[in-house]
Amino acid sequence: MSSGNNKLNHVGIIMDGNRRWAKKHLLSSFDGHKQGVENFKEIARYSNKIGIKNLTVYAFSTENWRRTQEEVNYLLNLFEKYLTGVLEEFDIENVKIRFIGDMSKFSQKIQDLILQIEQKSCQNTGMILNIAVNYGSREEICSAIKKISSQEFNNNITEKEISNNILSPDLDLVIRTGGEKRLSNFMLWQSAYAELYFTDILWPDFTVHDLEDALKDYSKRTRKFGGD
């Protein structure tokens, strides 16, 4: 897909604002997370429909484990229900689903569901949907370097080699909802020359029309990739 004169291959979304949305509507934080998942489904379907080739969403960061045990347990339960629903219905419109991050901290049931979904969707030819869970970009970069360093006779680590050992391609556009203006350890390597789009809209209120606004804004940018 192209947006204006700018090629658009990979969009990343930092889905922020679930808890503040819940507070605004006098609901529990759990209700906010549930609504956030429903909105994620809608945005993912629409992104596939309009021809975005790669979409990466920041679903659960390595820092999220610091939240209260009650909230972490709820998030894990919600994640498990989402995975089960994907397998039961598997109405993902030809989307190829991949999970990025350290899966080892999740229960065996969640790990098995993740594996089944990746295997079941691996032949799909539509949009690639990367779901970042227990993900941190610094850890991802460290893992790539360790992998390269372990290769025999490899004394020359290049940018190309690191990129080849990171699963997702460079980002063209990073969208962050919820009003914060930072990347929060999200795809630091891939976003080196990405355009950034920040909005005050809380994630559960972020509609397909808001996504279109972000894409239109992107189409007007002049990308220089470090040039003058």
* Identified catalytic residue from 16, 18, 54, 172: 16
DSSP H/E element including 198: strand 195-198
Instruction: State the DSSP string of 104-125.
Output: GGS-HHHHHHHHHHHHHHTT--
Which whole-number Å values give the CA distances from 20 to 36, 78, 145, in the listed order? 11, 18, 37
Q: CA 96 from chain center: how many Å?
A: 14
State yes or no: is 112 an active-site residue.
no
* Identified catalytic residue from 64, 124, 165, 185: 64
12 beta partners: 56, 174
State yes or no: is 16 an active-site residue.
yes
At 218, the amino acid letter reads Y
Selection from 58, 15, 98, 37 nearest residue 187 by Cα = 58
At 118, the amino acid letter reads E
Which residues are designated catalytic?
16, 64
